[in-house]
Amino acid sequence: MNPSQDSLSLHEAAQTLAAEADDLHATEVMLAHAIEHGDLHANVKRWATEQWEGRQLPGNINRLETRIELAELDAWLKRQR
C-alpha cells in the first residue's frame, strides 16, 4: 500500500497530537480506542501476536501501517471538543 499524502500513520498522527514524548503511547492508545469503537475511520493493519513490536495497542493495531486520512482525523478532533 502506498501511503497517501493526505494520510498519516497512527504513530505519525499521535506524534502530531502528543504534547510531549511521554504522552506518545497514551495518544496512540487513545487513537486506537477511537478506531476500535468506530469513532475514527482508518485503514487498519493488525499485528499477529508473534509479530508484535513495541508496546501493544488495543486490537493489535499496527501503529506504523494503520493509516488515518487527515480529513478523518480533523473531523474526529472537532467532535472531541
pLDDT tens-digit series, residues 4-51: 789 999 999 999 998 776 789 999 999 999 999 999 999 999 987 666
Q: Is 54 a residue whose pLDDT tops 80? A: no
Q: Is residue 31 part of a domain?
A: yes
- When pLDDT is averaged across residues 60-81 and rounded to a whole number, the result is 94
Q: How many domains does the chain have?
A: 1
Residue 21 inside a domain? The answer is yes
Mean pLDDT over 63-77 rounds to 95
Establish if 1 belongs to a structural domain.
no
What pTM, to 2 d.p., does this model score?
0.86
Residue 29 lies in a domain: yes
Higher pLDDT, 56 or 61: 61
69 lies in a domain?
A: yes
75 is in which domain, residue-wise? 7-80
Per-residue pLDDT at 1 exceeds 60:
no
Domain presence at residue 2? no
Residue 47 identity (one-letter amino acid): W
